[in-house]
Structure 1
C-alpha cells in the first residue's frame, strides 16, 4: 500500500501522513528498492486511531500518549478532561452570545463605539459616568481606564462600588468637583498648592475597598503601564496622582 492509498483509506491527506512521520506519531516504514514506502494493515489501524482521537479533540501529543504501549495516559482520563473543557467553552459561548444580544439591542437605538463591547456592569457604569460628568477630560480618561480593566475583570469591583452611589446627587456633585479641579491642574505648576489639596481630597473620596491590597513599594514611574499613564497627563496632574498613591500606600 502506497502513501496515497493509505491516506485515502483513512480519509486524511498525504501531507498529514508525512507530518505524522516527522513528529513520530506514525512510524515510517523503510523504503523498498524502488524508493517507495509500503504500508501495511497495522499502519492503517494506527492512522485511523489517530484520526478518531484528534476528531474527539485530543492534540497530537495527547493522541501519541494514548497510543503508546505502556506509558500513555488512560484514554478515559483524557476524554474526561476534554469533556470538562468543552463544558467550559459552552458556558463561555453562552455568555458571549448574551452579551452580543445586549449589544444588538443597543445598536438598534443608535451607533456603537469600541468601548460598548465591555461587560454589562462596566457598560452601565460608563453610561452613568458619561451622563454625570459630561465634558470632563479626567472623567473621559477614567472611562477609558475602566474599559481597559474590563478585559481582566478588574472593573467589576469598581462597577459594584459605584453602581448605586452615582445615583446619589451629592456624590455625583462631589465627584464632578474633583474632576473639575483635576482638569484645571492641566495648566498649573507642579508646586501649586492645589496639587496637594486635590490629592488629599481625592484619596479620601475613593472607597477603602478599592485601594486595599495595593503594593506600598510600587514606583509608579518605574511601572510600564503606570508610567505610560502618567506621561499622558500634564505635570501637575501626574504629580497629584503620585501623591494620591502615596496616601493610599501609607507613604
Structure 2
C-alpha cells in the first residue's frame, strides 16, 4: 500500500502521515526497491488509532503514551477496540439524526433555538408566566441541559419539567418564584428575602429534576460552580438553598 492509499483509507492527508512519521508516532514502513514506502495493515491500524485519539481531544504527546501501551497488544484486540469506537460513533450519529428528524417533523422551530418537540411544548407552557428575566434565563438553561444530557437524562428532565407546568396552581407557584428571584437581582446573599425565595423555588422543583443521589458538593462540581456564578449573589444564594431543600428533603411551603 502506497502513502496516498494509506491516507485515503484512514481519511487523513499524506502531509499528516509524513508529520506522524517525523514525530515518531507512525513507524516507518519498509521501502521498495524504487524507494517508495510500502505500508501494511499494522500501519492502517496505528494511523486510525492516532486519528481517533486526536478526535477525542488528546494531544500528540498523550497519543504517544497510549500507542506505547498498545505496542504489546495483539492486533485483533486493537482492531476490536477500533471497531467498538466506530460503533459508539455510529450510535451517537443515529441519536443526533433522530433528534434532527424530530425537530424537522415538528415544524416551526422555537425562537429559543433548535430544541426538541418536548422542550418546545414546555416553553409553550412557560408562556403562561408573565415576562420575567429569570424565566428567560431558565429557558436558556433548559436548552443547555437538553443539548448536553444523555437520552435517559433528557427523558427524566422532560418529564420533571412538564410536571412542573402541568396544572394552573403549579404555574402560579412558578410565577411567584420567578417574581421573588427577579426581586433579588440586586440583593446580597444575606438578604432576608433569600429564604422565602428559596422555599418557594424548592416547591417548584420537581423531585425528578435532581437525581436520587442528589448533587455533589459545590466545591467538587465545576458545572454547578459555573452555573451559580452566572447569577447575582442574592439569586445564587436562593437557588443554592432551594436545591439543598430538595436534596435533603428540607421543610418547604413557607408561604
1:145 aligns with 2:141: yes
Shift of 1:44: 6.3
Aligned to 1:240: 238
CA RMSD of aligned residues (A): 4.4
Is 2:113 aligned against 1:116?
yes
Distance verdict in 2 for CA 1:169–1:205, change over 3 Å: same
Q: What residue in structure 2 maps to residue 177 of structure 1?
A: 176
Deviations 1:123-153 (A, max 9, x none): 4433432x23241211111111122222331
TM-score by length of 1: 0.64
Distance, in Å, in 2 between the alignment partners of 1:214 and 1:191 is 25
- TM-score, L = length of structure 2: 0.63
Q: For structure 2, which runs of at least 5 residues remain unmatched after alignment?
A: 54-63, 251-255
> Offset of 1:121 from its aligned partner?
3.8
**8 Å Cα contact 1:199-1:243 kept in structure 2:** yes
Do the aligned partners of 1:216 and 1:249 also contact (CA within 8 Å) in 2? no
How do 1:29-68 residues align onto structure 2 when only pairs under 5 Å count? 39-40=31-32, 46-49=38-41, 52-53=44-45, 57-59=48-50
Aligned residue in 2 for 1:128:
125
Query: 2:194 touches 2:237 (CA, 8 Å); kept in 1?
Result: yes
Map 1:195-234; keep pairs closer than 5 Å: 195-211=194-210, 212-215=212-215, 217-218=217-218, 224-230=225-231, 233=232
**In the alignment, is the contact (CA less than 8 A) between 2:181 and 2:235 conserved in 1?**
yes
- Describe the shift of the 1:172–1:11 C-alpha distance in structure 2 as closer, same or farther (beyond 3 A): closer
For residues 88 and 190 of structure 1, what CA distance do their matches in structure 2 show? 45
| Corresponding residue SS for 2:73 | coil
Contact 1:198–1:240 (Cα < 8 Å) also in 2 = yes
Q: Deviations over 1:146-173 (max 9, x none)?
A: 2222233155433211224423222122
The C-alpha deviation readout for 1:209-245, integer Å capped at 9, x for no partner, is: 434434575369x964144223xx3x54344334434
On the 8 A contact 1:21/1:27 being kept in 2, the answer is no
| Partner residue in 2 for 1:26 | 28
Residues 29, 37 of structure 2: 8 Å contact kept: no
Alignment size in residue pairs: 221
Q: Deviations over 1:82-107 (max 9, x none)?
A: 2222222222222222222233345x
Q: Secondary structure at the match of 1:81?
A: helix
Q: Which structure 1 segments of 5+ residues have no match? A: 1-5, 29-38
Larger Rg: 1
